[in-house]
Amino acid sequence: MPQKHIVVIGSGFAGLSAATHLADRPGCKVTLLEKNDSPGGRARKFQAEGFTFDMGPSWYWMPDVFERYFARFGKKPSDYYELIRLDPSYSVIFGEGEILDIPADLGQFKAMLEEIEPGAAEQLDRFLAQAKYKYQVGIHDLVHRPSRSVFEFASPSLLMDVMRLDIFQSMAKHIRRFFSHEKIIRIMEFPVLFLGETAENIPALYSLMNYADIALGTWYPKKGMHEIIRGMVTLAEEKGVDIRYGAEAEKIEVTDGQAKSIRLKSGELIDADVVVAGADYHHVDRVLLPRGYSNYSGKYWDQRVLAPSSLLFYLGVGKRLKNLRHHNLFFDEQLGPHADAIYKNPRWPEKPLFYASVPSITDPTVAPEGMENLFLLIPLAPDLQDSVEMREKYYEIIMDRLEKVTGQDIRSHVVYKRSYAHSDFKSDYHAFKGNAYGLANTLAQTALLKPSLKNKKVRNLYYTGQLTVPGPGVPPSLISGEVVGGVVMKEHDL
């Protein structure tokens, strides 16, 4: 059998996953093209003045997904990085003096809820029993289906379990069936923010995220999230993947409905038997492909509900900080107005929610001795016009709140500062409307209703990543690469 050349565009989690799965097949030569000078996509890292910053993902949830990924190649995560379970898992700040540390121990967590709302511990057991079932079905079954035909979901067991999966009920209503105290509701609704929508618009199926949070725990790979990427790159290269950096795809050359080659910005042509696009789906579909070969129209894309973008600050602080944990969620302002700003009426919010991560509390290797690595994130509507002035305005807003709640001066001790927002997402990743997390996981954008993982007009072009199945997030992106790899193998007899 002649060797087939598979070209993967983009070295994020999905691209690396797809490339490694395909390179593991006999007779496959895989080239991975990355426009930037380092791997990882949004999960890149950078170093400055003794600090090491993860640029994007900072939460390590669903450890079983990572274990399954590496196990497919006879490996395990510990072959590449050391995991630390965080305890507390994270901290939720409702205001001055109103801080809840979420314990890693389930018994302690139940006791905390019981103190807030009598009866909540028993209700949590009922809630988690349902969430566990959804996790087992969702993460170990549904997300591994390519979602190209309704018949993939036509098994009698799945049809019978539609109601148990709570597909047609919102997370907001589902949670309120079990709990009534506002603080508990906020804690239980938090995980779906990773899915890019409010709890009112996310199916209750995704209470599986609560199971991942509460039962499976929050972890941290020592030296940072980029260690996962480093491990994946090592494994990909062990399998023979040729990773080329600074190799930005400019055009996919198509002849008679077949992608024949990738033209790089340098002018170089790379021949391909199969192309897997792990870059931004919209960019590949509307820019890299010749006119007439797109899967979807510009109108289609404009009608999609995107997950938020983000305004990020990477800060090096020249002292140790107090009253902060590794992960800190600031819910000290009401969610309502900010949710409208993110999801319904795109504008800059008056009272932004924000998230603060201080990985140096857990891992001293990411900051110079006696200093802290501080990562701040404000979720924002996509497609906003960001500017230096607007970024600075919001820096001052959240620093005012951060200093007030934690009772310390931080700004005057900042020795390094870098911001990152919409224009950077567009420049670095060609991100559609500057989005950070892909498409929101609404019911109308789930499974078959997501952009297809295969081009309908180009026989050998496939898509992977957070804009296609199964959706946004690091574990789903790992699975997305595996799923598309399986489809390519089947359709091309690999």
H-state helical runs in 141-225 = 156-160, 171-176, 182-189, 208-211
List residues bridging with 375 in a β-sheet.
314, 357
The pLDDT of residue 38 is above 50: yes
Q: Looking at this protein, which amino acid is placed at residue 454?
A: K
Task: Please measure the distance between the N-terminal and C-terminal CA atoms of the chain and give it in whole angstroms.
Answer: 10
**pLDDT confidence of 334, banded at 50, 70, 90?**
low
pLDDT value for 255 = 97
At 458, give phi and psi (nearest 5°).
Answer: -120, 110
Q: What token pair was written down for 282?
A: 């919209």
Burial 295-327 (b: 16+ CB within 10 A, else e): bbeeeebeebbbbbbbbbbbbbbeebbeebbbb
**pLDDT confidence of 192, banded at 50, 70, 90?**
confident
Residue 461 and residue 288: Cα distance in Å, rounded? 12
The pLDDT of residue 257 is above 50: yes
pLDDT value for 340 = 53
Q: What global pTM score does this model have?
A: 0.96
Q: Which range has the worst mean pLDDT, 29-38, 88-97, 182-191, 326-335?
A: 326-335
pLDDT value for 326 = 98
The pLDDT of residue 436 is above 90: yes
Mean pLDDT of 275-295: 97
**pLDDT confidence of 332, banded at 50, 70, 90?**
confident
The pLDDT of residue 50 is above 70: yes
H or E element in which residue 147 lies:
none
Mean pLDDT (the chain) is 94
**pLDDT confidence of 419, banded at 50, 70, 90?**
very high
pLDDT value for 336 = 47
